[in-house]
Structures are given as C-alpha cells and as structure tokens.
Amino acid sequence: MEHLLLHVCCGPDLTYAYEYFSKEYSVTGYFANDNIDTEEEYEKRFYQAKIVADHYKFMIIKKIYEPEKFLVASKNLENEREMGRRCEECHRMNFRSAVEKAKEINAGLVSTTLTISPHKNAEMINRIGCEEASKKSVRFVEENLKKHEGFKKATEISKRFNLYRQNWCGCKFSRGTIG
C-alpha cells in the first residue's frame, strides 16, 4: 500500500475520512491547523483526533501550534467571506506544511479530511492541494468526501465515539458561523 499523509482538521471529520482512505492507502494523520484561534482549542481538537487515531490504531502527528503563521497568511484578508481568498490562503498554509511533513517521512501522497464538510469547497481544496504538492513532487489525492455521504457517516461515528464537534471553522473570523 502507498503511504498517504492525511491532513486532519478535527476528530469528527477524521472518522469517516480514515475509514475511506485506509481502504486503499497506509494512512498517517497530520494535525496542522495554525488557523485555530486559541491554543486551548487547538489542543481540544487534537485530543479528539487522537481518540480516533487510537481507536483505529494509526499514527497521528501533531504540528506545533504557530498561530503567527495564520496571521501572516490572512493579512489584509480579514473581511473576506468564508470560502473566499482568506480560506484559500488558510488551506495553502496547512497543505504546505503537510507536503513538507510528507517529504520528511517519505510519504508520496497527501490528502485532507477537509472536503467532508458541507461548508467547504472541495474543488478549491483539491486545486490548492495539487498546487502545493506539485512544488515538492508529492501527489495530492483529490477527493470529495461529501460525495460518499461522508459528513452523515462521520456524524454518526462521532456520536458513537462521543466526540466533541466544534461549531465554527477555526479562525477568529469564523466565530459565530458554522463550518
């Protein structure tokens, strides 16, 4: 099986995403989300993802929290709508980090849990993932996990695991929205 580094946004989305990708690939998780607005929330979301990884018995790597990177990425884009240019830069920042990690651990493939969310644009995510991966000769595995009723399945599994699901995307600009 080829080795895929899976960028993980949160535990609930990881449930179905892992079940899906692990049918075809040897998956390592990578929690990298400098966009999350507080360290407390970063740790809380990672903890949920670790519960999932421990359940399915695969490794998940936690990136150190560097919120200043998101401040740079989102500079002058504070007022953008969700799924606009700020989100593009946010995905780019996280995928760049995932591609670097994939190179470090010799994983030839990268993908993400993000396309499972009904609030995310899979086309944009796949395009940015491919752009960042191609810079380092890694292949981004394009998917749209929504297509497979991924969100519904992830919600059901998460309820069984009693996982915390946040009700905003992650950055301070998305507080009070869903995503």
Interface ranges with ligand SF4 (CB under 6 A): 35, 82, 86-87, 90, 169-171, 173-174, 179
**Which is closer to ligand SF4, CB of 67 or CB of 179?**
179
CB of 47 to ligand SF4, least distance (A): 19
Q: Which is nearer to ligand SF4, 25 or 96 (CB)?
A: 96
Distances (CA, A) of 158 to 40, 63, 72, 163: 21, 23, 33, 5
DSSP assigned state of 139: E
Round to whole Å and give the CA distance between 135 and 151. Answer: 30
Minimum Å gap between C-beta 175 and ligand SF4 is: 9
Q: Which one, 46 or 173, has the nearer CB to ligand SF4?
A: 173
39: burial class by Cβ within 10 Å (0-12, 13-18, 19+)?
exposed
DSSP three-state, residue 178 = coil
CB of 174 to ligand SF4, least distance (A): 4
